[in-house]
């Protein structure tokens, strides 16, 4: 990954509607979250330097924003959706896991192929990379019992969040914060380490690289 497109090929742009950046976040917080997500995913391929990330708040907010964007879509972008699964995924696809919510928002069937999951939450990605965690929290991360299961998607969301709170406990803030800490970790996060432990992250990576690198 990381190779550029052939000369003369038009540059495909991708816009990703992402759960996160709660509506209560400040404008600076939302910008930080957006920038960090882009920095993380742009490591996959040079073409993803043009990736557009739209933080949307909750799962329902992200799905509604995605559905609204699809209705006004003019083929100048590849649109995709990325939300937390909130639990283990037993369905055969992200679209099946999200089906009731996608149905409610009237997301067209063909657009459901571009739906992806963070399993079980964005923070599950974060705990796959101890180097990125250490850049945020310092050496204390070596003393924290971060989940070691090779399949990070099988680790309950609460276990992941508890580990992050444990890491933050000896910092001035005392607790993990999704925007302040999550964005910092995300910006330094190695996509290869996430993909090694998350099948759904691998699916997202393959889609993004295929979208800009074909």
Q: For each of the chain's 214 residues, which pLDDT tens digit applies?
A: 444 444 445 567 899 999 987 666 677 888 999 999 999 999 999 999 999 999 998 999 999 999 999 998 777 889 999 999 999 999 999 999 999 999 999 999 999 999 999 999 999 999 999 999 999 999 999 999 999 999 999 999 999 999 999 999 988 878 999 888 999 999 999 999 999 999 999 999 999 999 997 5
- β-pair partners for 118: 84
**DSSP bridge partners of 16:** 53, 80
In a domain, 94, yes or no: yes
Q: Are 83 and 59 in contact (CB under 8 A)?
A: yes
Would you put residue 168 in left (φ > 0), alpha (ψ -120 to 50) or beta? alpha
Residues 53, 186 contacting (CB under 8 angstroms): no
**Under 8 Å between Cβ of 124 and 163:** no
Report phi then psi at 20, rounded to 5.
Answer: 135, 170
Q: Is residue 4 part of a domain?
A: no
User: Does 7 reside within a domain?
Assistant: no
User: Within a domain: residue 8?
Assistant: no
Question: In the chain, how many domains are there?
Answer: 1
Q: Answer yes or no: is 133 within a domain.
A: yes
- The DSSP code for 107 is -
129: domain range?
14-213
Contact assessment for residue 182 and residue 176, using Cβ atoms and an 8 Å cutoff: yes
DSSP letters along 69-86, please?
A: HHHT--SSSEEEEEEE-S
Please state, in angstroms and rounded to a whole number, the distance separating the CA atoms of residues 27 and 31.
6
Look up the pTM and report it: 0.92
Both ends of the chain: CA-CA distance in Å?
12
């Amino acid at each position: 990954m990381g190779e550029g497109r052939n000369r003369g090929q038009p540059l495909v742009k991708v816009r990703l509607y992402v759960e996160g950046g709660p509506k209560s976040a400040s404008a600076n917080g939302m910008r930080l979250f957006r920038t960090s997500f882009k920095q993380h995913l742009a490591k996959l391929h040079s073409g993803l330097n043009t990736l557009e990330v739209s933080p949307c708040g909750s799962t329902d907010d992200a799905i509604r924003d995605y559905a609204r964007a699809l209705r006004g879509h003019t083929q100048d972008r590849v649109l995709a959706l990325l939300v937390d699964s909130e639990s283990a995924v037993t369905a055969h696809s992200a679209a099946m896991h999200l089906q009731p919510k996608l149905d409610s928002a009237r997301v067209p069937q063909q657009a459901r192929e571009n739906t992806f999951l963070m399993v079980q939450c964005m923070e599950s990605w974060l705990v796959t990379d101890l180097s990125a965690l250490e850049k945020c929290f310092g050496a204390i991360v070596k003393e924290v019992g971060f989940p070691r299961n090779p399949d990070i998607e099988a680790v309950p969301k609460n276990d992941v969040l508890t580990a992050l709170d444990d890491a933050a406990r000896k910092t001035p803030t005392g607790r993990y914060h999704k925007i302040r800490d999550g964005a910092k970790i995300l910006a330094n996060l190695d996509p290869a380490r996430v993909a090694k432990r998350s099948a759904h992250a691998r699916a997202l990576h393959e889609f993004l690289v295929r979208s800009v690198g074909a």
